[in-house]
Structure 1
């Protein structure tokens, strides 16, 4: 086994066994990364792996998204968003008392120094994500799922783009090349580009996964083929004792097992697992919605962002996926059909060819921290506890870098990152 070194400089044997709680893209990638060190990994999830946010996301691999969600001036824009029934932000008023402290912390995160610090940390985590996903898709034998055609952000005009000036300045600071386009340039890239958009910003070095669920399933297949253990059970509680970490599921045999290390990658459900340990994790579910139109993927050549509406449009294997919006309404409220109806209406206005097509609807829970920076690594105060949570709408982008960071922190440096190793069974 690989040896690493603790803070006192003493060699530490990498673990032989680890349990990962949560089988979204972050959890599955982490299991695969640990397995590349020879660790025996047990992966636990209550549902089918990849069926939460990993199923419904836009497929965007966006390392240039280094700007946190809370930016200077955000409070001035919130009232207008809330007044617009189809706007990018909605708050379920019944959930407001529970979300109030998170919303206050979110507003405080917009302070310029905090924004700068968050951007630095986000860039440190996400840089190289496009190449990582390209390599992993190839090694998994699903290179057809990876597309490197960039992302195109559309604005009504150049003046409107100044509303997002902070985000573009941060991208430039960290070396992301941006090409500004007029209407002719937009149509050269996207012949079916919606009318009403005269200014574009093109990030050529970004990518798209054309079927996020199949991508996660391919990772999982490789994990199981190499001896990984997948358990479909609800992790009701986690706790340490003198033998290691226990995961309480209600299955007697599983509950009796112990692991020296546990990785919590449970997304928006992580706070409930961690609260009994004395950890109050400030994660709020930012509920996201999408509508998918079967057979319409030809309408765009790449991921397109209607920046004025905060909507992502992406070609998928099964059709055209249109997603976005942020809804603060908690984990228990049912999906709000008005949110999806608004997305469908915007999509049909942007692409009249969608008028006669039915849309499949989805809603999922994106785990967001007030400052937008995920928590990745070992919790020093609790031996053997590792977190990989809080990626918000960038879980796919950050999944592989997060997994490698967890594996390296637990097991030591590796000659090659796990995505460059042959992982297919």
Structure 2
């Protein structure tokens, strides 16, 4: 690859769903855009996620309720939230920040910020789906969260009260209404909460690839290579790639998901990004007559109907980028799903593990690098990258244009830590 320079071009580092949404919005405003991708397009967390537009999921992971469960969960190697013991020394500073983020005032701050971003995300996604011709990929079936006791439902009520204050619609259901929303659930589940405005996609990878085609149709270019350094220059930004080549561009948008932290650190921004390793198994189509996405919150996983099959996955393993996958986690979720959904055919599944970029307060980083206002950050969305992708793209376009952003960016600024 030869060196090249184009001071009028914007480089978007990362061709996952967030990077693609940024590129789509920038192209829509007349900018020239080049995607720079270390692997295949949308082959990271954008490939195997649960496929939800989780606009009602406004509760930060770091919450007082979560911390009550954490001692039991964290060191269970197959639990809903776990840390491999060998990784504990490395992640301890992040855990301290996570604990601080759960304090009542900080938790409320994050919840309000997330609510604001989610309301905007719903509007932005609707607009992007229409403009990119992606409507056929979107399902509007809602989500059903299931509880094994009235006590479990009651324990969840403060979270639903918080959602209600942020305008989230929901319905607690039992008996025939529960069976209507999803027949065939094991009788151990006595109640549920239905969120009608929750949406899913037919398959998250298919959705991302369709957006990629829309981006390319708008005139984007793509370079395949790993960015090793982002260097502000006198008239723009220089990207140094692993193969020794360079790209000189006018601006750079860092949307590299779980791989963003080292590049930001070299720019002087110490952002405490960690990696949630998510697991799933995708069963063949017809494995179960699933009407909508089901959430088993007490067990930390969801079951999603896709055009490509039934996906059983979730859980959080805070284990970094280097350790080999522990697919026993996928197997545990699949066994539970078979017990919770009698009749589920668990044969012929495909296992997957992906890296979610996670920050202690559950909010992404959307803002400008301290090194240069020509370098913008758009990463750290945790398990909400698909949900918040269009909103992030709109906000990045606002910043590039010098407009007042559509929502305040103060809660998401890179230097908040």
**TM-score, scaled relative to structure 1:** 0.89
What residue is the counterpart of 2:4 in the other structure?
none
Alpha-carbon deviation of 1:165?
A: 3.2
Given the alignment, which residue of 193, 196, 209 partners 1:201? 193
State whether structure 2 residue 263 is matched by structure 1 residue 265: no
What residue is the counterpart of 1:311 in the other structure?
301
Given the alignment, which residue of 88, 107, 111 partners 1:115? 107
Alpha-carbon deviation of 1:175?
A: 0.8
Structure 1 unaligned runs (5+)? 1-14, 417-425
1:335-374 superposed matches below 5 A? 335-355=325-345, 357-374=347-364
CA contact (8 A) 2:75 2:85 kept: no
CA contact (8 A) 1:344 1:359 kept: no
Distance 2:186 2:37 in 1: 40
Alpha-carbon deviation of 1:380?
A: 5.1
Distance 1:35 1:139 in 2: 12
C-alpha distance after superposition, 1:234-285 (max 9, x if no partner) = 1111111223211111456x50x32221110011111111112222110100
Given the alignment, which residue of 149, 153, 166 partners 1:174? 166
C-alpha distance after superposition, 1:141-199 (max 9, x if no partner) = 33221011111111112320233334212211111111110132111111122331111
Alpha-carbon deviation of 1:131?
A: 4.7
Distance 1:297 1:143 in 2: 25
What residue is the counterpart of 2:202 in the other structure?
210
Q: Per the alignment, in what secondary structure is the counterpart of residue 354 of structure 1?
A: coil
Given the alignment, which residue of 57, 81, 101 partners 2:73? 81
State whether structure 2 residue 294 is matched by structure 1 residue 294: no
State whether structure 2 residue 324 is matched by structure 1 residue 324: no
CA contact (8 A) 2:77 2:83 kept: no
1:43-82 superposed matches below 5 A? 43-82=35-74
Q: Closer, same or farther in 2 for the Cα pair 1:112/1:234, shift >3 Å?
A: same
Q: Closer, same or farther in 2 for the Cα pair 1:130/1:192, shift >3 Å?
A: farther
Q: Per the alignment, in what secondary structure is the counterpart of residue 67 of structure 2?
A: helix
CA contact (8 A) 1:314 1:321 kept: yes
Q: Closer, same or farther in 2 for the Cα pair 1:357/1:195, shift >3 Å?
A: farther
Alpha-carbon deviation of 1:381?
A: 5.1
Given the alignment, which residue of 382, 386, 395 partners 1:392? 382
Alpha-carbon deviation of 1:407?
A: 0.3
Distance 1:398 1:188 in 2: 30
C-alpha distance after superposition, 1:281-312 (max 9, x if no partner) = 10100110011111136522111101211211
Given the alignment, which residue of 201, 215, 225 partners 1:223? 215
CA contact (8 A) 2:37 2:223 kept: yes
What residue is the counterpart of 1:8 in the other structure?
none
State whether structure 2 residue 118 is matched by structure 1 residue 126: yes
C-alpha distance after superposition, 1:61-112 (max 9, x if no partner) = 1111111001114332112224655420111111111101001110111001
> CA RMSD of the aligned region, Å?
1.9
Q: Larger deviation: 81-90 or 358-367?
A: 81-90
Q: Larger deviation: 328-337 or 338-347?
A: 338-347
Q: Closer, same or farther in 2 for the Cα pair 1:340/1:306, shift >3 Å?
A: same
Q: Closer, same or farther in 2 for the Cα pair 1:258/1:129, shift >3 Å?
A: same
Alpha-carbon deviation of 1:351?
A: 2.4
Count of matched residue pairs: 399
Distance 1:283 1:195 in 2: 41
Q: Per the alignment, in what secondary structure is the counterpart of residue 97 of structure 2?
A: helix
**TM-score, scaled relative to structure 2:** 0.91
Q: Larger deviation: 26-35 or 175-184?
A: 175-184
Distance 1:411 1:401 in 2: 15
What residue is the counterpart of 1:232 in the other structure?
224
Distance 1:40 1:301 in 2: 42
